[in-house]
């Protein structure tokens, strides 16, 4: 019997079918959707008109000052944040954000420092907003001609730090290393100069003067004592600011302008819609903030035609200003008021240009 071989004329089937490849891709994507990324995502956030109301209450009010109607609108711009240390965005969300020019992907450590919990970061953000509001009230009242005395005080103390069990919330700090201090900058400079040696602080607690010693600790490139300080003011008139659950110090400039516009007769910006951002110091200096490119998008989407930006953020905005929005760079309150005079007069603002 002759042996015979039989061959199948059909082509061999691929080991993996098309559906198998699709299934593998689906499984890979599903895995990415559950895998923490180590990043957070920033997006344009809400916009708040400080001349308006929130939950039926005026954002800016006073029981002591006469208020005036205004045609101007002043918006505080914010950035929304997706993710925190306990719940990162997944890789699909991160990849989508990287492809979207209206979103910003950041390493989580840049927003939530490893040495702080999410709750501590949020508490610090809330404190920064409270301090910025107090500074805004003080600057506005001084601009209106009032005298506003201030004192440096301890707002809170972080556990397990050099200041823990030595400083308490409400302490007034009046001296450091035997020299009188009146500003946070003076205290910070003294802490850095002291390094890891003993720091002698003069306090007033419950009306009684006392002295304590604290040894600062190294944190990164600087020394810290572990206390959050701010200014408490003796305001000659009561001004109440209500903005709900918004944190950070970046609303300082716009709060200041809103207060001035609320309690002075003229509309500072005429009938124009002005948005902006920037911290405000007790002497009226406007400081830099984060997320500026996202904030101009939020401002434009809300209908603003003018945006006030800190001078230190100028370079970030070059080439990123939405069409139809004029950006004015300001260094301090005086600069901002000059810009508003031009806006109210209908003067066209110049193209964005950064100078040293």
What's the pLDDT score for residue 12? Answer: 55
What's the pLDDT score for residue 114? Answer: 80
More reliable by pLDDT, 159 or 67: 67
Angstrom distance (rounded) from CA 67 to CA 321? 34
Percent of the chain exceeding pLDDT 90 equals 61
Span of 12-16, 126-130, 190-194 with lowest mean pLDDT: 12-16
Pair type for strands 60-61 and 240-241: antiparallel
Residue 4 in this model has a pLDDT that exceeds 50: no
What's the pLDDT score for residue 88? Answer: 83
What's the pLDDT tens digit per position in 276-327? 999 999 889 999 999 999 999 999 999 999 999 999 999 999 999 999 999 9
The structural domains of the chain, with segments of one domain joined by +, span: 44-80+124-145+238-344, 150-232
What's the pLDDT score for residue 16? Answer: 53
Angstrom distance (rounded) from CA 14 to CA 280? 68
Residue 120 in this model has a pLDDT that exceeds 90: no
**What is the CATH number that goes with domain 150-232?**
2.30.42.10
pTM: 0.79
Q: Both ends of the chain: CA-CA distance in Å?
A: 100
User: Residue 328: CB partners within 8 Å, gap ≥ 6?
Assistant: 306, 307, 308, 309, 336, 339, 349
What's the pLDDT score for residue 228? Answer: 85
More reliable by pLDDT, 40 or 273: 273
Residue 2 in this model has a pLDDT that exceeds 50: no
Contact 185, 283 (CB under 8 A): no
**What is the CATH number that goes with domain 44-80+124-145+238-344?**
3.30.230.10
Strand partners, 204: 172, 209
What's the pLDDT score for residue 86? Answer: 80
What's the pLDDT tens digit per position in 263-274? 999 999 999 999
Residue 274 in tokens: 């002005």
Q: Calculate mean pLDDT across residues 162-171.
A: 92
With bands split at pLDDT 50, 70 and 90, how would you rate the model's confidence at 22?
low
What's the pLDDT tens digit per position in 205-235? 999 999 999 999 998 889 999 998 888 899 9
């Amino acid at each position: 019997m002759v042996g015979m071989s039989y061959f199948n004329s059909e082509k061999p089937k691929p080991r993996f079918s098309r559906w198998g490849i699709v299934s593998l891709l689906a499984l890979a994507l599903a895995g990415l959707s559950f895998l923490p990324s180590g990043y957070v995502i920033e997006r344009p956030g809400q916009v708040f008109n400080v001349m308006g109301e929130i939950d039926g209450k005026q954002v800016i009010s006073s029981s002591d000052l006469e208020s005036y109607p205004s045609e101007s609108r002043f918006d505080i711009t914010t950035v929304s944040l997706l993710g925190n240390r306990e719940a990162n965005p997944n890789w699909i969300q991160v990849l989508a954000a990287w492809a979207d020019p209206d979103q910003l992907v950041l390493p989580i450590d840049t927003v939530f420092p490893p040495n702080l919990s999410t709750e501590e970061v949020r508490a610090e953000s809330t404190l920064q907003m409270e301090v910025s509001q107090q500074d805004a009230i003080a600057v506005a009242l001084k601009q209106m001609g009032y005298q506003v005395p201030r004192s440096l005080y301890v707002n809170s103390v972080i556990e397990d730090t050099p200041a823990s069990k030595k400083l308490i919330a409400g302490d007034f700090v009046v001296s450091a290393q035997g020299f009188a201090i009146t500003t946070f900058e003076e205290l910070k400079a003294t802490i850095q100069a002291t390094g890891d040696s003993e720091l002698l602080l003069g306090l007033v607690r419950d009306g009684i003067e006392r002295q304590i010693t604290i040894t600062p600790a190294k944190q990164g490139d600087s020394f810290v004592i572990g206390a959050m300080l701010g200014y408490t003011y003796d305001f000659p008139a009561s001004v109440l600011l209500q903005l709900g659950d918004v944190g950070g110090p970046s609303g300082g400039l716009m709060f200041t302008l809103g207060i001035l516009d609320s309690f002075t007769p003229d509309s500072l910006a005429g009938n124009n819609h002005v948005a902006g951002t920037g911290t405000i110091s007790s002497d009226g200096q406007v400081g830099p903030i984060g997320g500026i490119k996202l904030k101009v998008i939020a401002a434009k989407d809300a209908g603003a035609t003018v945006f006030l930006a800190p001078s230190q953020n100028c370079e970030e905005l070059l080439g990123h200003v939405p069409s139809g929005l004029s950006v004015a760079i300001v260094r301090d309150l005086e600069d901002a008021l000059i810009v508003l005079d031009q806006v109210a007069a209908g003067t066209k603002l110049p193209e964005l240009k950064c100078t040293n």
